[in-house]
Amino acid sequence: MSLSHIGENGRARMVDVTEKERTLRTARAKGFIGLTEAVMEMVRAGKGPKGEILNTAKIAGIMGTKRTHELVPLCHPLSLTHVDVEFKIDEERGRIEIISEVKARAETGVEMEALT
Q: Is 104 exposed, middle or buried (0-12, 13-18, 19+ CB in 10 A)?
A: buried
Q: What is the pLDDT of residues 11-65, one digit of tens each?
A: 888 999 999 999 999 999 999 999 999 999 999 998 888 889 999 999 999 999 9
Give me the domains of the chain, ranges plus CATH numbers.
23-115 (3.30.70.640)
Tens of pLDDT, residues 29-39: 999 999 999 99
- The pTM of the whole model exceeds 0.75: yes
